[in-house]
Structure 1
Amino acid sequence: MICLRPYGSCLRCKWKSAGNSQDVSMEMEKSMEMIKICLLGLSGMFISILFKNGKQEYSIYICLITGVIIFSFAIDTVVEIKSVIENLGNYFNVGNQYIATLFKMSGITYLAEFASNICKDAGYGAIAGQIEMFGKLSLLLLSLPVMLALLDTVSTFLG
Protein backbone atom coordinates (compact mmCIF):
# COMPACT_ATOMS: atom_id res chain seq x y z
CA MET A 1 0.00 0.00 0.00
CA ILE A 2 1.32 3.42 -0.86
CA CYS A 3 1.66 5.82 2.01
CA LEU A 4 -0.42 8.97 1.86
CA ARG A 5 1.45 10.70 4.70
CA PRO A 6 1.91 14.00 2.87
CA TYR A 7 -1.84 14.27 2.54
CA GLY A 8 -2.70 13.41 6.13
CA SER A 9 -5.47 11.09 5.04
CA CYS A 10 -4.15 7.58 5.61
CA LEU A 11 -6.51 6.07 8.17
CA ARG A 12 -4.61 2.88 8.98
CA CYS A 13 -1.12 4.29 9.08
CA LYS A 14 0.74 3.90 12.39
CA TRP A 15 2.88 6.87 11.42
CA LYS A 16 -0.10 9.20 11.70
CA SER A 17 -1.29 7.80 15.00
CA ALA A 18 2.16 8.36 16.46
CA GLY A 19 1.28 12.03 16.77
CA ASN A 20 3.65 13.41 14.16
CA SER A 21 3.92 17.18 14.43
CA GLN A 22 3.73 17.56 10.64
CA ASP A 23 0.28 15.95 10.55
CA VAL A 24 -0.91 18.04 13.48
CA SER A 25 0.27 21.24 11.81
CA MET A 26 -1.41 20.24 8.52
CA GLU A 27 -4.68 19.54 10.32
CA MET A 28 -4.46 22.85 12.16
CA GLU A 29 -3.71 24.66 8.91
CA LYS A 30 -6.74 23.10 7.19
CA SER A 31 -8.95 23.93 10.19
CA MET A 32 -7.78 27.53 10.15
CA GLU A 33 -8.35 27.72 6.41
CA MET A 34 -11.91 26.46 6.88
CA ILE A 35 -12.51 29.07 9.59
CA LYS A 36 -11.20 31.77 7.23
CA ILE A 37 -13.51 30.62 4.46
CA CYS A 38 -16.53 30.53 6.78
CA LEU A 39 -15.75 34.01 8.10
CA LEU A 40 -15.24 35.30 4.56
CA GLY A 41 -18.55 33.81 3.44
CA LEU A 42 -20.45 35.21 6.41
CA SER A 43 -18.82 38.63 5.97
CA GLY A 44 -19.74 38.67 2.30
CA MET A 45 -23.30 37.71 3.17
CA PHE A 46 -23.66 40.45 5.79
CA ILE A 47 -22.18 43.11 3.50
CA SER A 48 -24.47 41.91 0.72
CA ILE A 49 -27.49 42.21 3.03
CA LEU A 50 -26.48 45.78 3.88
CA PHE A 51 -26.40 46.72 0.20
CA LYS A 52 -29.59 44.84 -0.69
CA ASN A 53 -31.83 47.63 0.61
CA GLY A 54 -30.04 50.54 -1.08
CA LYS A 55 -28.02 49.46 -4.09
CA GLN A 56 -29.18 45.98 -5.01
CA GLU A 57 -26.77 45.63 -7.95
CA TYR A 58 -23.83 45.95 -5.54
CA SER A 59 -25.25 43.10 -3.50
CA ILE A 60 -24.92 40.73 -6.45
CA TYR A 61 -21.37 41.90 -7.18
CA ILE A 62 -20.37 41.32 -3.56
CA CYS A 63 -21.79 37.78 -3.68
CA LEU A 64 -19.92 37.11 -6.90
CA ILE A 65 -16.60 38.46 -5.59
CA THR A 66 -16.98 36.50 -2.34
CA GLY A 67 -17.62 33.32 -4.31
CA VAL A 68 -14.58 33.87 -6.52
CA ILE A 69 -12.34 34.47 -3.50
CA ILE A 70 -13.61 31.30 -1.83
CA PHE A 71 -13.02 29.42 -5.09
CA SER A 72 -9.42 30.65 -5.13
CA PHE A 73 -8.95 29.12 -1.67
CA ALA A 74 -10.37 25.85 -2.98
CA ILE A 75 -7.85 25.55 -5.81
CA ASP A 76 -5.06 24.41 -3.46
CA THR A 77 -7.31 21.74 -2.00
CA VAL A 78 -8.28 20.54 -5.46
CA VAL A 79 -4.60 20.20 -6.40
CA GLU A 80 -4.00 18.05 -3.31
CA ILE A 81 -7.05 15.91 -4.06
CA LYS A 82 -5.90 15.49 -7.66
CA SER A 83 -2.49 14.20 -6.61
CA VAL A 84 -4.04 11.75 -4.13
CA ILE A 85 -6.46 10.42 -6.73
CA GLU A 86 -3.65 10.08 -9.28
CA ASN A 87 -1.62 8.10 -6.73
CA LEU A 88 -4.61 5.87 -6.05
CA GLY A 89 -5.15 5.48 -9.79
CA ASN A 90 -1.54 4.38 -10.23
CA TYR A 91 -1.85 1.98 -7.32
CA PHE A 92 -5.02 0.35 -8.67
CA ASN A 93 -3.86 0.58 -12.31
CA VAL A 94 -6.75 2.78 -13.41
CA GLY A 95 -6.38 4.56 -16.74
CA ASN A 96 -5.62 8.27 -16.72
CA GLN A 97 -8.62 8.99 -18.96
CA TYR A 98 -10.95 7.86 -16.17
CA ILE A 99 -9.24 10.10 -13.64
CA ALA A 100 -9.39 13.01 -16.09
CA THR A 101 -13.08 12.31 -16.66
CA LEU A 102 -13.67 12.30 -12.91
CA PHE A 103 -12.06 15.72 -12.55
CA LYS A 104 -13.96 17.12 -15.51
CA MET A 105 -17.21 15.91 -13.98
CA SER A 106 -16.32 17.43 -10.62
CA GLY A 107 -15.45 20.73 -12.27
CA ILE A 108 -18.67 20.82 -14.28
CA THR A 109 -20.68 20.07 -11.16
CA TYR A 110 -19.00 22.82 -9.15
CA LEU A 111 -19.22 25.45 -11.89
CA ALA A 112 -22.85 24.66 -12.69
CA GLU A 113 -23.82 24.87 -9.02
CA PHE A 114 -21.84 28.09 -8.53
CA ALA A 115 -23.40 29.81 -11.55
CA SER A 116 -26.86 28.49 -10.70
CA ASN A 117 -26.69 29.78 -7.14
CA ILE A 118 -25.60 33.22 -8.34
CA CYS A 119 -28.51 33.32 -10.77
CA LYS A 120 -30.91 32.27 -8.01
CA ASP A 121 -29.55 34.99 -5.71
CA ALA A 122 -30.09 37.54 -8.47
CA GLY A 123 -33.68 36.35 -8.90
CA TYR A 124 -33.25 34.56 -12.22
CA GLY A 125 -34.52 31.10 -11.34
CA ALA A 126 -35.29 30.12 -14.94
CA ILE A 127 -31.72 30.75 -16.05
CA ALA A 128 -30.47 28.87 -12.98
CA GLY A 129 -32.61 25.89 -13.97
CA GLN A 130 -31.20 25.94 -17.50
CA ILE A 131 -27.64 26.02 -16.17
CA GLU A 132 -28.39 23.05 -13.91
CA MET A 133 -29.99 21.12 -16.78
CA PHE A 134 -27.02 21.76 -19.07
CA GLY A 135 -24.66 20.69 -16.29
CA LYS A 136 -26.54 17.41 -15.88
CA LEU A 137 -26.51 16.78 -19.62
CA SER A 138 -22.77 17.50 -19.72
CA LEU A 139 -22.22 14.98 -16.92
CA LEU A 140 -24.24 12.40 -18.83
CA LEU A 141 -22.22 13.04 -21.97
CA LEU A 142 -18.92 12.67 -20.11
CA SER A 143 -20.06 9.47 -18.40
CA LEU A 144 -21.04 7.68 -21.62
CA PRO A 145 -17.51 6.46 -22.52
CA VAL A 146 -17.04 5.19 -18.96
CA MET A 147 -20.37 3.36 -19.06
CA LEU A 148 -19.52 1.84 -22.47
CA ALA A 149 -16.13 0.66 -21.16
CA LEU A 150 -17.86 -0.87 -18.14
CA LEU A 151 -20.38 -2.68 -20.36
CA ASP A 152 -17.52 -3.89 -22.57
CA THR A 153 -15.68 -5.24 -19.52
CA VAL A 154 -18.81 -6.99 -18.23
CA SER A 155 -19.51 -8.54 -21.63
CA THR A 156 -15.89 -9.75 -21.80
CA PHE A 157 -16.26 -11.50 -18.43
CA LEU A 158 -19.62 -13.01 -19.37
CA GLY A 159 -18.69 -14.04 -22.90
Structure 2
Amino acid sequence: MDMAQMAAVGLTGTLLAVTLRRENAQMALLVSVTTGVLLFLSLLSPLGELLGILQETAQKAGVSDGYFTIVLKVIGIAYLAQFGAQLCMDAGETAIAAKIELAGKILIMAVSAPVLVELLDVVLHLV
Protein backbone atom coordinates (compact mmCIF):
# COMPACT_ATOMS: atom_id res chain seq x y z
CA MET A 1 0.00 0.00 0.00
CA ASP A 2 1.53 3.33 -0.99
CA MET A 3 1.32 6.57 0.98
CA ALA A 4 -1.68 7.90 -0.96
CA GLN A 5 -3.64 4.74 -0.18
CA MET A 6 -2.60 4.86 3.46
CA ALA A 7 -3.71 8.48 3.71
CA ALA A 8 -7.03 7.58 2.07
CA VAL A 9 -7.59 4.73 4.55
CA GLY A 10 -6.67 7.02 7.44
CA LEU A 11 -8.96 9.83 6.31
CA THR A 12 -11.82 7.42 5.63
CA GLY A 13 -11.43 5.87 9.07
CA THR A 14 -11.27 9.31 10.65
CA LEU A 15 -14.42 10.51 8.90
CA LEU A 16 -16.29 7.34 9.86
CA ALA A 17 -15.14 7.59 13.48
CA VAL A 18 -16.09 11.27 13.75
CA THR A 19 -19.49 10.61 12.18
CA LEU A 20 -20.18 7.60 14.40
CA ARG A 21 -18.95 9.26 17.59
CA ARG A 22 -22.18 11.27 17.92
CA GLU A 23 -24.38 8.18 17.59
CA ASN A 24 -22.31 5.30 18.96
CA ALA A 25 -19.04 5.98 20.77
CA GLN A 26 -18.09 2.31 21.02
CA MET A 27 -18.43 1.79 17.27
CA ALA A 28 -16.40 4.94 16.63
CA LEU A 29 -13.63 3.58 18.84
CA LEU A 30 -13.75 0.25 17.02
CA VAL A 31 -13.44 2.02 13.65
CA SER A 32 -10.53 4.08 14.97
CA VAL A 33 -8.66 1.06 16.35
CA THR A 34 -9.34 -1.00 13.22
CA THR A 35 -8.05 1.79 11.00
CA GLY A 36 -4.89 2.09 13.08
CA VAL A 37 -4.28 -1.66 12.98
CA LEU A 38 -4.84 -1.80 9.21
CA LEU A 39 -2.35 1.00 8.70
CA PHE A 40 0.15 -0.71 10.99
CA LEU A 41 -0.24 -4.05 9.20
CA SER A 42 0.26 -2.38 5.82
CA LEU A 43 3.70 -1.27 7.02
CA LEU A 44 4.96 -4.80 7.72
CA SER A 45 6.16 -5.48 4.17
CA PRO A 46 8.14 -2.24 3.76
CA LEU A 47 9.46 -2.69 7.28
CA GLY A 48 10.75 -6.16 6.38
CA GLU A 49 12.53 -4.76 3.35
CA LEU A 50 14.07 -1.99 5.45
CA LEU A 51 15.29 -4.47 8.06
CA GLY A 52 16.94 -6.52 5.33
CA ILE A 53 18.76 -3.47 3.98
CA LEU A 54 19.88 -2.43 7.46
CA GLN A 55 21.11 -5.92 8.30
CA GLU A 56 23.07 -6.13 5.05
CA THR A 57 24.63 -2.72 5.70
CA ALA A 58 25.50 -3.65 9.29
CA GLN A 59 27.21 -6.83 8.10
CA LYS A 60 29.23 -4.88 5.52
CA ALA A 61 30.25 -2.40 8.22
CA GLY A 62 31.31 -5.21 10.54
CA VAL A 63 28.77 -4.44 13.24
CA SER A 64 28.29 -7.33 15.65
CA ASP A 65 25.03 -9.24 15.23
CA GLY A 66 24.42 -8.86 18.97
CA TYR A 67 24.57 -5.08 18.84
CA PHE A 68 22.48 -4.92 15.69
CA THR A 69 19.82 -7.12 17.31
CA ILE A 70 19.75 -4.90 20.39
CA VAL A 71 19.29 -1.77 18.28
CA LEU A 72 16.42 -3.40 16.36
CA LYS A 73 14.76 -4.52 19.60
CA VAL A 74 15.01 -1.01 21.04
CA ILE A 75 13.49 0.51 17.89
CA GLY A 76 10.73 -2.10 17.86
CA ILE A 77 9.88 -1.55 21.51
CA ALA A 78 9.76 2.22 21.00
CA TYR A 79 7.43 1.99 18.00
CA LEU A 80 5.12 -0.58 19.60
CA ALA A 81 4.93 1.35 22.87
CA GLN A 82 4.07 4.54 21.00
CA PHE A 83 1.45 2.76 18.87
CA GLY A 84 -0.16 1.11 21.90
CA ALA A 85 -0.13 4.34 23.90
CA GLN A 86 -1.73 6.26 21.03
CA LEU A 87 -4.51 3.67 20.74
CA CYS A 88 -5.18 4.03 24.46
CA MET A 89 -5.18 7.83 24.19
CA ASP A 90 -7.67 7.60 21.31
CA ALA A 91 -9.91 5.59 23.63
CA GLY A 92 -9.53 8.25 26.32
CA GLU A 93 -7.41 6.05 28.58
CA THR A 94 -4.48 8.38 29.21
CA ALA A 95 -3.48 6.61 32.44
CA ILE A 96 -3.08 3.28 30.63
CA ALA A 97 -1.24 5.04 27.80
CA ALA A 98 1.23 6.47 30.31
CA LYS A 99 1.82 2.98 31.76
CA ILE A 100 2.51 1.58 28.28
CA GLU A 101 5.02 4.37 27.67
CA LEU A 102 6.69 3.66 31.03
CA ALA A 103 6.82 -0.07 30.27
CA GLY A 104 8.42 0.71 26.91
CA LYS A 105 11.11 2.85 28.55
CA ILE A 106 11.88 0.19 31.13
CA LEU A 107 12.05 -2.54 28.50
CA ILE A 108 14.38 -0.40 26.38
CA MET A 109 16.70 -0.02 29.38
CA ALA A 110 16.56 -3.78 30.05
CA VAL A 111 17.31 -4.70 26.44
CA SER A 112 20.14 -2.18 26.15
CA ALA A 113 21.72 -3.12 29.52
CA PRO A 114 24.40 -5.36 27.95
CA VAL A 115 25.61 -2.46 25.80
CA LEU A 116 25.69 -0.14 28.80
CA VAL A 117 27.58 -2.69 30.89
CA GLU A 118 30.17 -3.18 28.15
CA LEU A 119 30.53 0.58 27.72
CA LEU A 120 31.14 0.99 31.45
CA ASP A 121 33.66 -1.85 31.33
CA VAL A 122 35.56 -0.09 28.54
CA VAL A 123 35.54 3.18 30.46
CA LEU A 124 36.80 1.45 33.64
CA HIS A 125 39.65 -0.16 31.73
CA LEU A 126 40.66 3.21 30.32
CA VAL A 127 40.90 4.73 33.79
Fold-level similarity (TM above 0.5): yes
Matched positions, count: 127
- Structure with greater proportional helix content: 2
Which of 3, 7, 13 in structure 2 is aligned with 1:44? 13
Task: State the Cα RMSD in Å.
Answer: 1.6
Match status 1:124 vs 2:96:
no
Displacement, 1:120?
Answer: 0.8
* Identical positions, percent: 30
1:99-132 C-alpha deviation (Å, 9 max, x unpaired) = 1112211221111111111111111111111111
Match status 1:110 vs 2:84:
no
Aligned match of 1:84: 53
Tell me which structure has the larger Cα radius of gyration: 1
Q: Which has the higher contact order (CA 8 A, sep 6+)?
A: 2
Distance 2:27 2:66 in 1: 42
Displacement, 1:154?
Answer: 4.2
Displacement, 1:52?
Answer: 0.4
**TM superposition outliers: structure 1 runs of 4+ over 6 Å:** none
Structure 2 gap ranges (5+):
none
Classify the secondary structure of the residue corresponding to 2:106: helix
Aligned match of 1:144: 113
1:27-53 C-alpha deviation (Å, 9 max, x unpaired) = xxxxx7011111111111111101100
Distance 1:106 1:37 in 2: 22
Specify the code of the residue in structure 2 equivalent to 1:92. Answer: A
Specify the code of the residue in structure 2 equivalent to 1:101. Answer: I
Aligned match of 2:22: 53
